[in-house]
Amino acid sequence: MSERKPVTLHRLQEMHASGEKIAMLTCYDAAFAHVLDQAGVDILLVGDSLGTVLQAESTTTPVQLADMVYHTRLVARGNKTAWLLGDLPFGSYHESPQQAWRSSLALMQAGAHMVKLECGDWAVDTVRFLTARGIPVCAHLGFTPQTVSALGGFKVQGRGAAAEHVKEQARAFVEAGAQMLLFEMIPAALAREITAWSPVPVIGIGAGLDCSGQVLVLHDMLDITPGRRPRFVKNFMSGTDSIAGAVARYVAEVKSGQFPDEAVHAFT
């Protein structure tokens, strides 16, 4: 593809406001960073999902901050224009806002442009602390994989009466300064409602078509993750003869609104 300007937070906010869809994928090394950047992926997420897809752990809980710093540095070296979002791993931001600051600083110094926290009500003060000190934050709400045991397994969040709490959380984190929201496994109608009023981009994974953008785990959409795939995953390698082609197809389908198909990939 032709040269593009670096994707900035301002550009992402413009895309959200205009309805232009945002394409995000996880990324863990320089080679894939180059492929994804060249294919037009807007945001590269150095996800703690590396624990399951690279380290063969059963959950993301064992991932260490040092792992995230290492892989963030690799992705930053291979990336030229995409926005780079780094996950704060379990235990690296729960103790205090000051601990979250130190962990965020490590990721930013490794090349991240923004950090992502899996947020509960307790994290509002932490987000406020970070954003007041110049750290852009994405608040991850809905299903939060780091706390899968406490949630009782891989379950859709925000159904029924719980929807109001999810909406309250979204408003609280935006008011605390979060500049992006990410919702995982919530009803499509709930994600649609939140995206409609949100002043910041809303990224979905298993959250329906009407979010500002979509994210998938790279190894899932390339169909190379062992075991069963989540419902919201689509195999973009099927019918494609290259990884670059699969990624470009993902970007095109997100941008056009073809993916996700709410009859297949979303929850009610």
What DSSP state is assigned to residue 103? H
- Binding-site residues for 3-methyl-2-oxobutanoate, in ranges, read 48-49, 87, 116
Phi/psi for 141 (5° steps) reads -125, 175
Which of 20, 184, 253, 262 does the annotation list as catalytic? 184
Phi/psi for 12 (5° steps) reads -65, -40
Distance, CA of 47 to chain centre: 8
Q: Beta strand 137-142 with 114-118: parallel, antiparallel or unpaired?
A: parallel
Q: How far is CA 138 from CA 30, 46, 144, 157, 160, in A?
A: 23, 13, 13, 18, 25
* 253 has catalytic annotation: no
Sequence-ordered list of residues with C-beta below 8 angstroms from that of 147, at least 6 positions apart, any chain: 118, 120
Q: How far is CA 164 from CA 184, 190, 191, 193, in A?
A: 16, 9, 12, 11
- Binding-site residues, in ranges, read 48-49, 87, 116, 118
User: Is residue 132 packed enough to be buried (19+ CB in 10 Å), middle (13-18) or exposed (0-12)?
Assistant: exposed
What is the full DSSP assignment across 144-203? -GGGHHHHTSS---S-TTHHHHHHHHHHHHHHTT-SEEEEES--HHHHHHHHHH-SS-EE
d(CA 120, CA 144) in angstroms, rounded, equals 9
User: Which positions are catalytic?
Assistant: 184
